[in-house]
Protein backbone atom coordinates (compact mmCIF):
# COMPACT_ATOMS: atom_id res chain seq x y z
CA UNK A 1 0.00 0.00 0.00
CA UNK A 2 1.42 3.39 -0.94
CA UNK A 3 1.44 6.33 1.45
CA UNK A 4 -0.96 8.18 -0.83
CA UNK A 5 -3.78 5.70 -0.66
CA UNK A 6 -3.32 5.29 3.08
CA UNK A 7 -4.13 8.96 3.63
CA UNK A 8 -7.09 8.72 1.33
CA UNK A 9 -8.52 5.71 3.04
CA UNK A 10 -7.89 7.26 6.44
CA UNK A 11 -9.90 10.39 5.70
CA UNK A 12 -12.66 8.81 3.66
CA UNK A 13 -13.09 5.87 6.00
CA UNK A 14 -13.59 8.15 8.98
CA UNK A 15 -17.37 8.29 9.02
CA UNK A 16 -17.62 10.53 12.07
CA UNK A 17 -15.28 13.07 10.55
CA UNK A 18 -17.20 13.05 7.27
CA UNK A 19 -20.62 13.18 8.92
CA UNK A 20 -19.52 16.13 11.04
CA UNK A 21 -18.07 18.00 8.13
CA UNK A 22 -21.13 17.33 6.00
CA UNK A 23 -23.41 18.71 8.71
CA UNK A 24 -21.29 21.83 9.06
CA UNK A 25 -21.22 22.35 5.32
CA UNK A 26 -24.96 21.95 5.03
CA UNK A 27 -25.72 24.51 7.76
CA UNK A 28 -23.21 26.85 6.21
CA UNK A 29 -24.64 26.47 2.70
CA UNK A 30 -28.25 26.75 3.88
CA UNK A 31 -27.56 30.00 5.68
CA UNK A 32 -25.84 31.43 2.65
CA UNK A 33 -28.32 30.29 0.03
CA UNK A 34 -31.56 30.29 2.04
CA UNK A 35 -32.66 27.29 -0.02
CA UNK A 36 -32.38 23.79 1.38
CA UNK A 37 -32.26 21.89 -1.91
CA UNK A 38 -29.72 24.23 -3.49
CA UNK A 39 -27.65 23.86 -0.33
CA UNK A 40 -27.84 20.05 -0.57
CA UNK A 41 -26.68 20.18 -4.18
CA UNK A 42 -23.79 22.52 -3.42
CA UNK A 43 -22.60 20.34 -0.52
CA UNK A 44 -22.91 17.20 -2.61
CA UNK A 45 -20.83 18.66 -5.42
CA UNK A 46 -18.24 20.03 -3.03
CA UNK A 47 -17.89 16.68 -1.27
CA UNK A 48 -17.45 14.82 -4.54
CA UNK A 49 -14.95 17.38 -5.74
CA UNK A 50 -12.97 17.24 -2.52
CA UNK A 51 -12.94 13.44 -2.37
CA UNK A 52 -11.43 13.18 -5.81
CA UNK A 53 -8.45 14.99 -4.40
CA UNK A 54 -8.47 13.51 -0.92
CA UNK A 55 -5.15 11.78 -1.52
CA UNK A 56 -3.33 15.08 -1.91
CA UNK A 57 -4.06 16.14 1.68
CA UNK A 58 -1.82 15.38 4.59
CA UNK A 59 -4.38 15.92 7.33
CA UNK A 60 -7.90 16.70 8.37
CA UNK A 61 -7.41 20.42 8.84
CA UNK A 62 -6.11 20.86 5.30
CA UNK A 63 -8.84 18.63 3.93
CA UNK A 64 -11.55 20.56 5.75
CA UNK A 65 -10.23 23.92 4.55
CA UNK A 66 -10.16 22.56 1.01
CA UNK A 67 -13.74 21.24 1.23
CA UNK A 68 -15.02 24.58 2.44
CA UNK A 69 -13.06 26.39 -0.25
CA UNK A 70 -14.81 24.25 -2.88
CA UNK A 71 -18.15 24.75 -1.17
CA UNK A 72 -17.70 28.52 -1.11
CA UNK A 73 -17.00 28.50 -4.85
CA UNK A 74 -20.14 26.48 -5.43
CA UNK A 75 -22.12 28.90 -3.31
CA UNK A 76 -20.65 31.84 -5.16
CA UNK A 77 -21.67 30.23 -8.47
CA UNK A 78 -25.22 29.68 -7.26
CA UNK A 79 -25.47 33.25 -5.95
CA UNK A 80 -24.12 34.69 -9.19
CA UNK A 81 -26.63 32.62 -11.12
CA UNK A 82 -29.44 33.78 -8.84
CA UNK A 83 -28.38 37.37 -9.28
CA UNK A 84 -28.69 37.00 -13.03
CA UNK A 85 -32.04 35.27 -12.97
CA UNK A 86 -33.79 37.06 -10.14
CA UNK A 87 -33.08 40.23 -8.28
CA UNK A 88 -32.05 39.16 -4.84
CA UNK A 89 -33.93 41.63 -2.74
CA UNK A 90 -32.26 40.45 0.45
CA UNK A 91 -29.05 42.12 -0.68
CA UNK A 92 -30.73 45.35 -1.69
CA UNK A 93 -30.88 46.60 1.87
CA UNK A 94 -27.48 48.08 2.47
CA UNK A 95 -26.18 46.75 5.72
CA UNK A 96 -23.29 49.18 5.67
CA UNK A 97 -25.65 52.08 6.14
CA UNK A 98 -27.24 50.62 9.22
CA UNK A 99 -27.15 52.93 12.20
CA UNK A 100 -26.64 52.07 15.82
CA UNK A 101 -29.33 54.28 17.33
CA UNK A 102 -31.47 51.30 18.35
CA UNK A 103 -28.78 50.22 20.78
CA UNK A 104 -26.79 53.30 21.71
CA UNK A 105 -27.55 56.90 22.63
CA UNK A 106 -26.24 59.89 20.71
CA UNK A 107 -22.97 59.84 22.58
CA UNK A 108 -22.47 56.17 21.80
CA UNK A 109 -23.30 54.73 25.22
CA UNK A 110 -25.71 51.84 25.79
CA UNK A 111 -29.37 52.78 26.01
CA UNK A 112 -30.65 51.71 29.42
CA UNK A 113 -32.86 48.89 28.04
CA UNK A 114 -30.20 47.58 25.70
CA UNK A 115 -27.33 47.27 28.15
CA UNK A 116 -26.06 43.66 28.14
CA UNK A 117 -26.84 41.65 31.28
CA UNK A 118 -24.74 38.89 32.83
CA UNK A 119 -25.48 35.55 31.16
CA UNK A 120 -23.91 33.39 33.78
CA UNK A 121 -22.56 30.03 32.76
CA UNK A 122 -23.75 29.09 29.25
CA UNK A 123 -23.07 25.38 29.85
CA UNK A 124 -26.47 24.85 31.42
CA UNK A 125 -28.25 26.61 28.54
CA UNK A 126 -26.38 24.52 26.00
CA UNK A 127 -28.01 21.40 27.42
CA UNK A 128 -31.48 22.65 26.57
CA UNK A 129 -33.14 22.05 23.23
CA UNK A 130 -35.05 25.30 23.42
CA UNK A 131 -31.81 27.26 23.73
CA UNK A 132 -30.54 25.83 20.45
CA UNK A 133 -33.82 26.70 18.73
CA UNK A 134 -33.42 30.29 19.88
CA UNK A 135 -29.79 30.33 18.77
CA UNK A 136 -30.64 28.96 15.33
CA UNK A 137 -33.47 31.44 14.85
CA UNK A 138 -31.16 34.31 15.86
CA UNK A 139 -28.51 33.17 13.36
CA UNK A 140 -31.10 32.99 10.61
CA UNK A 141 -32.28 36.51 11.37
CA UNK A 142 -28.88 38.09 10.80
CA UNK A 143 -28.65 40.17 7.64
CA UNK A 144 -27.07 38.02 4.90
CA UNK A 145 -23.63 39.64 4.68
CA UNK A 146 -23.24 39.62 8.45
CA UNK A 147 -24.40 36.01 8.67
CA UNK A 148 -21.97 34.96 6.00
CA UNK A 149 -18.86 36.45 7.56
CA UNK A 150 -19.89 35.43 11.06
CA UNK A 151 -20.35 31.82 9.92
CA UNK A 152 -17.02 31.84 8.10
CA UNK A 153 -15.28 33.14 11.18
CA UNK A 154 -16.95 31.25 14.03
CA UNK A 155 -18.41 28.20 12.34
CA UNK A 156 -15.85 27.27 9.71
CA UNK A 157 -13.14 28.93 11.84
CA UNK A 158 -11.39 30.68 9.00
CA UNK A 159 -9.05 33.48 10.01
CA UNK A 160 -9.74 37.08 9.07
CA UNK A 161 -7.23 37.08 6.21
CA UNK A 162 -8.83 34.07 4.54
CA UNK A 163 -12.31 35.58 4.84
CA UNK A 164 -11.22 38.91 3.36
CA UNK A 165 -9.60 37.13 0.43
CA UNK A 166 -12.63 34.91 -0.21
CA UNK A 167 -15.36 37.53 -0.07
CA UNK A 168 -13.21 40.44 -1.26
CA UNK A 169 -13.57 42.63 1.78
CA UNK A 170 -11.07 44.95 3.42
CA UNK A 171 -10.03 44.06 6.95
CA UNK A 172 -11.86 47.08 8.34
CA UNK A 173 -15.07 46.19 6.49
CA UNK A 174 -14.85 42.69 7.86
CA UNK A 175 -14.43 44.03 11.38
CA UNK A 176 -17.45 46.29 10.96
CA UNK A 177 -19.60 43.38 9.76
CA UNK A 178 -18.45 41.05 12.54
CA UNK A 179 -19.03 43.74 15.17
CA UNK A 180 -22.61 44.23 13.95
CA UNK A 181 -23.27 40.52 13.67
CA UNK A 182 -22.10 39.99 17.25
CA UNK A 183 -24.12 42.94 18.56
CA UNK A 184 -27.25 41.57 16.94
CA UNK A 185 -26.73 37.96 17.84
CA UNK A 186 -26.04 38.65 21.49
CA UNK A 187 -29.02 40.93 21.70
CA UNK A 188 -31.28 38.35 20.09
CA UNK A 189 -30.07 35.55 22.37
CA UNK A 190 -30.35 37.74 25.44
CA UNK A 191 -33.88 38.93 24.64
CA UNK A 192 -35.20 35.53 23.64
CA UNK A 193 -33.44 33.35 26.12
CA UNK A 194 -31.78 35.01 29.09
CA UNK A 195 -34.49 37.60 29.71
CA UNK A 196 -37.40 35.22 29.11
CA UNK A 197 -37.23 33.64 32.55
CA UNK A 198 -37.40 37.01 34.25
CA UNK A 199 -40.46 38.12 32.34
CA UNK A 200 -42.59 35.05 32.83
CA UNK B 1 -13.55 58.77 27.30
CA UNK B 2 -14.09 55.81 25.02
CA UNK B 3 -17.81 55.20 24.37
CA UNK B 4 -19.64 51.85 24.24
CA UNK B 5 -19.77 51.64 20.43
CA UNK B 6 -15.98 51.95 20.35
CA UNK B 7 -15.50 49.60 23.28
CA UNK B 8 -17.70 46.84 21.79
CA UNK B 9 -15.94 47.29 18.47
CA UNK B 10 -12.55 46.75 20.12
CA UNK B 11 -13.85 43.74 22.04
CA UNK B 12 -15.13 42.30 18.78
CA UNK B 13 -11.84 43.07 16.96
CA UNK B 14 -9.93 41.30 19.72
CA UNK B 15 -11.68 38.09 18.64
CA UNK B 16 -9.68 38.30 15.41
CA UNK B 17 -6.37 39.82 16.45
CA UNK B 18 -4.62 40.94 19.61
CA UNK B 19 -5.09 44.63 20.36
CA UNK B 20 -2.10 46.92 20.88
CA UNK B 21 -1.18 47.39 24.54
CA UNK B 22 -2.25 51.02 24.69
CA UNK B 23 -5.66 50.24 23.18
CA UNK B 24 -6.06 47.36 25.59
CA UNK B 25 -5.40 49.63 28.54
CA UNK B 26 -7.93 52.20 27.34
CA UNK B 27 -10.49 49.45 26.95
CA UNK B 28 -9.70 48.12 30.41
CA UNK B 29 -10.47 51.51 31.92
CA UNK B 30 -13.82 51.62 30.11
CA UNK B 31 -14.67 48.08 31.24
CA UNK B 32 -14.05 48.91 34.88
CA UNK B 33 -16.72 51.57 34.72
CA UNK B 34 -19.22 50.02 32.32
CA UNK B 35 -21.12 46.89 33.33
CA UNK B 36 -22.80 46.64 29.91
CA UNK B 37 -19.51 46.39 28.04
CA UNK B 38 -18.08 44.17 30.75
CA UNK B 39 -20.97 41.75 30.17
CA UNK B 40 -20.58 42.15 26.40
CA UNK B 41 -16.97 41.02 26.68
CA UNK B 42 -17.95 37.90 28.64
CA UNK B 43 -20.65 37.18 26.10
CA UNK B 44 -18.23 37.28 23.18
CA UNK B 45 -16.36 34.36 24.73
CA UNK B 46 -19.67 32.58 25.36
CA UNK B 47 -20.86 33.26 21.82
CA UNK B 48 -17.72 31.66 20.40
CA UNK B 49 -18.05 28.63 22.66
CA UNK B 50 -21.75 28.30 21.80
CA UNK B 51 -21.16 28.57 18.05
CA UNK B 52 -18.35 26.01 18.12
CA UNK B 53 -20.48 23.62 20.14
CA UNK B 54 -23.25 24.15 17.59
CA UNK B 55 -20.85 23.45 14.71
CA UNK B 56 -19.94 20.16 16.36
CA UNK B 57 -23.60 19.21 16.51
CA UNK B 58 -24.03 19.46 20.28
CA UNK B 59 -27.51 20.84 19.76
CA UNK B 60 -28.53 17.56 18.16
CA UNK B 61 -27.35 15.60 21.14
CA UNK B 62 -29.89 17.34 23.34
CA UNK B 63 -32.81 16.46 21.07
CA UNK B 64 -35.03 13.63 22.18
CA UNK B 65 -35.76 12.21 18.81
CA UNK B 66 -38.91 10.17 19.30
**CATH label of the domain that carries residue A155:** 1.10.10.10
Task: Find the CATH number of the domain harbouring A43.
Answer: 1.10.1740
Between these two residues, A183 and A55, which has the higher pLDDT value? A183
Question: Does residue A106 sit in the same domain as residue A190?
Answer: yes
* Pair (A132, A165) in one structural domain: yes
Q: Are residues A58 and A113 in the same domain?
A: no
Measured CA to CA, the distance from residue A99 to residue A103 in angstroms comes to 9
Total count of domains within chain A = 2
State the Cα–Cα distance between residues A164 and A149, nearest whole angstrom: 9
Q: How far apart are CA A179 and CA B7, in angstroms?
A: 11
Substitution target in A15, A27, A60, A109 with the highest count of B β-carbons within 10 Å is: A109
The reply to whether residue B57 touches residue A126, judged by beta carbons under 8 angstroms, is no
Could you tell me if A119 lies within 8 Å of chain B, comparing CB atoms?
Answer: yes
Using the beta-carbon criterion (under 8 Å), do B39 and A132 form an inter-chain contact? no
A-to-B residue pairs, Cβ atoms closer than 8 angstroms: 100
The residue ranking higher by pLDDT, A150 or A72, is A150
- Range A64-80 average pLDDT: 77
**Minimal Cα–Cα distance from A31 to chain B, Å?**
13
Mean pLDDT of chain A: 80
Indicate whether A103 and A48 sit together in one domain. no
Confidence tier at A4 by pLDDT (50, 70, 90): very low
Q: Give the per-residue pLDDT at A67.
A: 80
Which range of residues forms the domain containing residue A38?
A: 3-85
Same domain, residue pair A98 and A31: no
Whole-angstrom CA distances from B44 to A114, A122, A131, A145, B4 are 16, 12, 17, 19, 15
Of A42, A67, A85, the residue that ends a domain is A85
Chain A residues whose CB is inside 8 A of the B8 CB are 179, 182-183
For residue A173, give the chain B residue with the closest CA. B13
Identify the residue among B59, B61, B65 best suited for mutation to test binding to A, counting A beta carbons within 10 A and taking the highest.
Answer: B59
Boundary residue ending a domain (A66, A85, A104):
A85
State the Cα–Cα distance between residues A145 and A147, nearest whole angstrom.
5
Is pLDDT above 80 for A184? yes
Instruction: Tell me what the mean pLDDT of segment A26-47 comes to.
Output: 85
Using the 3D structure, point to which of A22, A53, A85 is the last residue of a domain: A85
Residues A70 and A112 in one domain: no
Out of A24-33, A86-95, A104-113, B52-61, give the one with best mean pLDDT: A104-113
- pLDDT, residue B11, reads 98
> Across the interface, which of B17, B39, B52 has its CB nearest the CB of A117?
B39
What pLDDT shows up at residue A147?
87
Strand partners, A104: A110
Is A108 in the same domain as A183?
yes
Residue A108 shares a structural domain with residue A178: yes
Question: Same domain for A132 and A73?
Answer: no
Q: Are residues A98 and A177 in the same domain?
A: yes
Report yes or no on whether pTM surpasses 0.80. Answer: no
Among A109-123, A131-145, A181-195, the range scoring the smallest mean pLDDT is A131-145
- Preferred mutation among B2, B54, B63, B66 to probe A, highest tally of A CBs within 10 A: B54
Please state, in angstroms and as integers, the Cα–Cα distance from residue B58 to each residue in A126, A128, A149, B41, B63, following that order.
8, 10, 22, 24, 9
Asked if residue A69 has pLDDT above 90, the reply is no
pLDDT digit string, tens, across residues A89-113: 444 445 555 678 899 999 999 999 9
Residues A48, A72 within the same domain = yes
Amino acid sequence: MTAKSKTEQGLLADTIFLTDIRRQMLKFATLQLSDASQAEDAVQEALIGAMKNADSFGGRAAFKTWMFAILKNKIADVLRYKQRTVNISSFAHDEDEEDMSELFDRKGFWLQDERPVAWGNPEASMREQEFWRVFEACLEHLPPKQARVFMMREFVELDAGEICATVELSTSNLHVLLHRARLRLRECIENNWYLQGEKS
Amino acid sequence: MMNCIEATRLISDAQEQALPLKTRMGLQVHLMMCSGCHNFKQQMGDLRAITRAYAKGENEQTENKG
